[in-house]
C-alpha cells in the first residue's frame, strides 16, 4: 500500500499561497507572492531534493498542476533531480474543470476524488507526494487519506490568502518531530493516527 505524503510551505499565519514567486498565484488580489524565496538556501534545496526523489508519483490539484506544468518542463538539466522527478514520474491531477492534461506522464482523475485517491493508495509503488494544492488538501484531510504531513513554517506574516485549514493544524498526530535550521524556519512532520471516533469502535 502506498503512503500519501503532503508537503506544505506555510507562513506564520497559515498562508500557503504563492510561495515561489510574485506572479505564481494572484488569485484574490494576493500581492505577497515569493515570500519563501529569501529562505531558500543551499541546505533547504538539498532537503527538498532528497524528499522529492522519494516520490513514486505526485498528486496535484488543478491550480498547482497548471503552475508546475507551465514551469518545470522548461527545466531540462538532468542534474536537476527535482525537475527530473516532476517531469518524468506519474502525476495524478484532481480537477473539476480540466478535460485533459498534457504535461508528460500526467493523468486526470475522473469521478469522486477521494475514491480515486483511495484506489491509488492500494496500488504498489513508492510514496505519492502532494505539493501545494491547498483546495485538494481539504478533501484529503476530510477523508483521512493523508499518512504524513510535512510542514515547513517560515517567519513571515502576509495576511489573508489560501491557507492551511484549522483541521490540518489541529488534527491528532503521532510521531511529531521538529527541528530548527540555521535560518528561523520550523520543520515538522506529522504522522496521522485514527480519529478519536474510529479509535472508540
Residue whose entry in the numeric block shows the C-alpha cell 491509488: 120
pTM of the model: 0.78
Question: Is the residue at 91 inside a domain?
Answer: yes
Are the beta carbons of 162 and 17 closer than 8 angstroms?
A: yes
Q: How many residues make up the chain in this entry?
A: 201
Domain count of the fold of the chain? 1
Range of lowest pLDDT (19-33, 137-151, 174-188): 174-188
* Maximal CA-CA distance, the chain: 52
Give the CATH number, domain containing residue 150.
Answer: 3.40.430.10
pLDDT tens digits along 54-77: 999 999 999 999 999 999 999 999
Confidence of residue 130 (pLDDT cuts 50, 70, 90): very high
Q: Count the neighbouring beta carbons within 10 Å of the beta carbon of residue 42.
A: 7
What is the average per-residue pLDDT within 11-36?
Answer: 78
Question: Is the residue at 200 inside a domain?
Answer: no
**Helix (H) / strand (E) containing 114:** helix 113-121
User: What is the extent of the structural domain holding 112?
Assistant: 4-195
Range of lowest pLDDT (78-92, 132-146, 161-175): 161-175
Question: Is the residue at 201 inside a domain?
Answer: no
Distances from the Cα of 190 to the Cα of 32, 33, 173, angstroms: 27, 26, 6
Asked whether the predicted pLDDT for residue 89 surpasses 50, the reply is yes
pLDDT of residue 151: 86
What are the cell numbers at 35? 515570500
Tell me the three state secondary structure of residue 87.
helix
Amino acid at each position: 500500500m502506498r503512503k500519501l505524503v503532503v508537503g506544505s510551505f506555510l507562513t506564520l499565519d497559515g498562508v500557503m499561497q504563492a510561495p515561489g514567486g510574485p506572479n505564481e498565484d494572484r488569485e484574490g488580489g494576493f500581492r505577497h507572492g515569493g515570500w519563501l524565496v529569501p529562505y531558500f538556501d543551499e541546505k533547504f534545496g538539498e532537503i527538498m531534493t532528497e524528499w522529492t526523489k522519494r516520490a513514486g508519483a505526485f498528486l496535484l490539484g488543478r491550480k498547482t498542476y497548471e503552475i508546475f506544468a507551465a514551469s518545470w518542463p522548461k527545466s531540462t538539466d538532468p542534474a536537476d533531480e527535482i525537475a527530473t522527478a516532476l517531469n518524468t514520474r506519474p502525476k495524478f491531477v484532481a480537477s473539476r474543470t480540466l478535460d485533459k492534461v498534457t504535461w508528460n506522464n500526467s493523468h486526470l482523475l475522473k469521478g469522486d476524488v477521494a475514491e480515486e485517491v483511495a484506489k491509488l493508495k492500494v496500488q504498489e509503488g513508492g510514496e505519492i507526494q502532494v505539493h501545494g494544492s491547498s483546495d485538494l488538501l481539504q478533501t484529503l484531510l476530510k477523508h483521512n487519506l493523508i499518512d504524513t504531513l510535512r510542514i515547513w513554517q517560515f517567519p513571515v506574516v502576509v495576511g489573508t490568502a489560501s491557507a492551511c485549514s484549522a483541521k490540518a493544524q489541529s488534527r491528532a498526530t503521532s510521531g511529531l518531530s521538529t527541528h530548527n535550521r540555521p535560518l528561523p524556519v520550523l520543520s515538522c512532520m506529522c504522522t496521522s493516527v485514527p480519529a478519536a471516533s474510529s479509535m472508540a469502535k
